[in-house]
Structure 1
């Protein structure tokens, strides 16, 4: 179903739902009217002897109308109705059948009223109610009017003849029917325009919402990409700085922190010998290992730049050294050949690590600087190892190492 077809169906559905609600409202009114009129006819106090002959017919018709309206109220409930493309025509026919049935029954009563009381007030009232409440194409309502109005006018002429009584019935009918038709036409036209605008507005709001959600998703994707290293898909240095800022905002009390600076040993020689493509592959493999270890220990790892990485763990001190040892072992286990290495036949890493209990942003920055110094010391000690610095901060935020 195309977009235009969906909109057309939505408008049609709104019209049907509105008419079904109107049908229930009319059913309540007519059920009450039928009940009261039936009681009056049972009493027979308003009729003379000749008029009492028509009382059983009145009672029968109003009783039938009463039960029709009861059936409508019982079975036509908004919560029970699920209007779709398969049953919408059924509900449209239901509304039309209800209107035709009610007007036909009222026509029979009105013909009797014309004969006994020389008026057709009930028909006129019901016609106005139908034309006001229901929004239907004129072609669906005009036939019942053309069928019933002439029957009342003909019965008027036959019962009263050409007289002032005849004029009292024909004149209101001749005025009311065109007015009712105009009301019906305008009701349908205005209701349809309103529903059309409502549906189109909903469509535009839905499209706007979808575009906003798509734009938000794209913005989030771009933000995520801006914080990711394109080669390793690890968080980049910018993401690392944001992580530091978040940790700094959480420093309401003393927290344990381990910062590790990790560098691939003799990487320039690796690049010169194997080429940059192999160098990128080596960086990506090492990054993958670091990501696995970080996930295992609930740590944060990022690519610092080039062949260098940084990892932050907020565990206690006893986790720091085993974490470094595992990283060294896992990288060696990759067995990436490195014939130009001064350390090993395979690619290795050096790690500078600093553990501290921090309370301020200054402590955090100092810890990062000490980890960088420790990395330099690990390289000086022969690489393929880790060197640890422990920072103890006094109240003035000075480090004792």
Structure 2
């Protein structure tokens, strides 16, 4: 058996990122063996899945508390297995609350650890850098500005770019995407992306659907497309949609793990109403204007403030496009401000303001070029180097 690499990814975006890393490593070391926690993309690369990633798919502190017994069982089971059968290197993909704890235990036992996707310490809880320094042999970061943060703290770090920037074309093809989805080539289309987690859909979908109803009063011919990440989210969305029906709305379920259906939706639309998170970055890479929104429960908000010791992030933005552009290039309408009226007004601007659309597309192109690296190769080189280096 070749090099043994343990990996953990906790949600669909991490599963996709990790699968690209596996591809990169196999190009250099074809007999490498992978085991751990992951999803369908990692499974398709031949990884041994000890636990499905759904076990880790929780959203923030409130969900984590509810699922704590299951999380503890999963953590203990994987930790005991990896302690008994030590890998040559461990790679944690995002999921910092789970992975950093596991990485520290493994590193104490002499296992090199690599963490891919730095926690957003530049926004919340910078003090986590001390736990990272204990747990991580090498940090792989997606964004250029993160390198200085880790270097300053003496943590080995490599900027590998964002793999999505290499997978998404610099020049998206709207008409080809519409043809794949069976959409009218001349229609004005707004994509609605309320998130991939149950809690996100529960809190955001009702507001987004009410927004769509208001937009139809402004433009009765406007069409809406909604990507659905899995059957569970389809059920969650359908339940909400049955109480807030919207004309001209189509949902699209994921059918191809190689290309998320959300990408076709993003490429096909004219603009989007999107939950803050990875989807907002993907939308920027597809050069589509958007309105970013997010709502968390009062309990979640209090827990975040308590856990972080902060009332708000260190940076003034929540959306990744704005953080990377260092400006409010994209509207962010959050919490109580996220009324259907406010969201609809912002969406109308992203659909109809030609000068703004052209300006934001140019900014997104420059952003895309800055993140476009050979991520799989760079990550693979760093991981294989860590595997052969002293801890």
Task: Give the TM-score normalised by the residue count of structure 1.
Answer: 0.22
Structure number having the greater strand percentage: 2
Larger Rg: 1
Flag the structure with higher helix content.
1
